[in-house]
Structure 1
């Protein structure tokens, strides 16, 4: 399930805090983000320059527009600029009752100035009781506790217990404002409803030496809201959110945004692990790969062997030499197909490649009887040896995806060629049996299945693996050119 998370907060034109940070955090931790704007804030990484607060009625309209249409799994509440905004949100929460509510009480500026007047602070205290979790920083925790800001971790957790007890709410006490190389946060519940009946669950991490801390409170609270839906419990939600935020803070300097306290890099981990290129779908890959070997396919069609096969003028000795090498090829091709079956993880793929291996062995036995008359194995031509060495090397490396990509041209090239050549000539065509074998509906269906399995494997692979698959496919196509070239050269009289 993808959590549908609503952020109710102010804006940040530079994108590092407020709703912009919330939406990035929600997306980065696996949720679908929605936003209701409480205030338009003129700010950057250096500070706030101005705030425009829309009328309470418009805020209420935004809230209703979302909840009338979308099922909301979690709500994160950030900046509420005045008492009217707080009352509008409070009224909406009572009517909507979302299952998870996280309140980040934006009350104190970085400078230490109070952002809300006395009436708004009273209204915000009333709102806290409607939240499941409140996430104050050290100065905000002090305001809620009615005390001076804590100067050590013990003081912070004591204030958090007091706030939890007073408002009946879970508190995430954050120690980022306290000195020291270790940063502590803690989930605090005076009612003892945490795992094992505990009142405090502590989290620790190394402090990252950076100026990129703009919007960390917004980012953490929205990530916790999202992950609470995903995990179903506050403790793993906070743990996962802290790990994600630490990674994002550490990469923040790479963004090079602003001259003050820059933003965190919300998608640093996602981009590094997932890449930036759109993952293609199987049909797109099939079309792309086939187009990219158009030059190889033209080379094959222009070969004298293939032209003679098409019009029936091909020398019989050359064709028999080709069939003898095909028997040699099929011996090791069947081994590579069997390896693909063993390496495949799904039963459908295992059965398909195993059936193809049996079919290749049966065709080899047929050719051996029909062409060689039961005689011994003919010498393996260099072109044949190079082709099977390519396939067996792919099998030996044990990468299923690369192996099946290398196997695919023997389906695709032959089916394409056979289906077009089968339309040439009449029933008396000297090579009618060969043309019909590779142009029939059964082989066409088998080829389509092979294409689907290979391109699906490629579409779900990472980029380096997909590149290796493409290279293996291309090399096999080039070996097909050599395989069709060799018969006339080998059967041509010398001397």
Structure 2
């Protein structure tokens, strides 16, 4: 019997359990994947907002990652909240030593309630991290910040913004369409030299915190099993849609 694959989650904690590492671990378990963790920040949260953030020392984040990588056969890495530019630099150093592992980066910039989860001076170095990632998964507001342009109001402008991230070194960008309008929620995969690939599901009139964490972790889980990127995204999106229907 083949052992279950391991995914290393590099992200912040959420005391409410609605997002962050708790949501990541739940998702990985649903896919039959074991989780290792490197906690980047301890947050005090309710479902209404973020009350306090304590960033973990960057060296300690890197030590957690290296310990997990030495202890377990890590088949994929999922990155969420990074909090500071110094932590991003520390994470990049570890990734540089493990170039063969697929990495899914959910660029967490702001909480659902509007609290900043990444230092204002860290956006540029976050873009530098893209070149080490298999996939980056911004929503439309995050894409706007990363592309330094207004929030997109069409799929064409969102694709153009995503292509600007490819020019920054990203290998692939999945633009999440949850903040857009329309009957369907359409996520768009943008890759260099390939046709844009949409992933659609019926838009539901429900809300749930942590869906970005869930999607990125589900993609990482399927990549850990060896799925091609598009297949991993399709399965992950179907999983999130199913969870939304359960709420």
Give unpaired runs (5+ residues) of structure 2.
Answer: none
Could you tell me which runs of 5 or more consecutive residues in structure 1 were left unpaired when the two chains were aligned: 193-197, 253-495
1:87 alignment counterpart:
89
Per the alignment, do residues 114 and 167 of structure 1 end up closer, same or farther by CA in structure 2, a change over 3 Å counting?
A: farther
CA contact (8 A) 1:74 1:98 kept: no
- What TM-score, normalized by structure 1, do the two folds share? 0.48
Q: Quote the Cα distance in structure 2 between the aligned partners of 1:95 and 1:37.
A: 19
Relative to its length, the structure with more helix (as a share) is 1
Task: Identify the range of structure 1 (98-107 vs 160-169) with the bigger mean alpha-carbon deviation.
Answer: 160-169
Q: How does 1:470-485 map to 2 (within 5 A)?
A: none
Pick the structure with more strand per residue: 2
DSSP-derived class of the 1:45 partner: coil
Q: How far off its partner does 1:232 sit?
A: 2.5
> Once the 2 structures are TM-superposed, how far is the Cα of residue 187 of structure 1 from its aligned partner?
1.1
Give yes or no for contact 2:13–2:21 (8 Å, CA) kept in 1.
yes
Q: 1:250 maps to which residue?
A: 245
Report the CA distance shift for 1:166/1:87 in structure 2 as closer, same or farther (over 3 A): closer
Q: Distance in 2 between matches of 1:109 and 1:158?
A: 25
Structure 1 outlier segments of 4+, above 4 Å: 111-114
Do 1:73 and 1:98's aligned partners in 2 also have CA atoms closer than 8 Å?
no
**1:81–1:116 contact (8 Å) kept in structure 2:** yes
Asked if 1 retains the 8 angstrom alpha-carbon contact of 2:136 and 2:170, the reply is no
**TM value normalised by structure 2:** 0.93
Q: Does 1:230 pair with 2:225? A: yes
User: What secondary structure is seen at the aligned counterpart in 1 of 2:97?
Assistant: helix
Equivalent residue of 2:204, what SS?
Answer: coil
- The equivalent of 1:216 in structure 2 is 211
Aligned twin of 1:139: 141
The one of the two structures with greater contact order (alpha-carbon pairs below 8 A, sep at least 6) is 2
Partners in 2 of 1:109 and 1:15 — Cα distance? 14
Residue 152 and residue 110 in structure 1: after superposition, are their counterparts in 2 closer, same or farther (change >3 A)? farther
Larger radius of gyration: 1
Contact 1:11 1:20 in 2 (8 A): yes
- Alignment deviations for residues 443-493 of structure 1 (CA, whole Å, 9 cap, x no partner): xxxxxxxxxxxxxxxxxxxxxxxxxxxxxxxxxxxxxxxxxxxxxxxxxxx
8 Å contact from structure 1 (residues 104, 221) kept in 2: yes
Q: Name the SS of the counterpart of 2:180 in structure 1.
A: coil
In structure 2, the CA distance between the partners of 1:34 and 1:206, relative to structure 1 (3 Å rule), is same
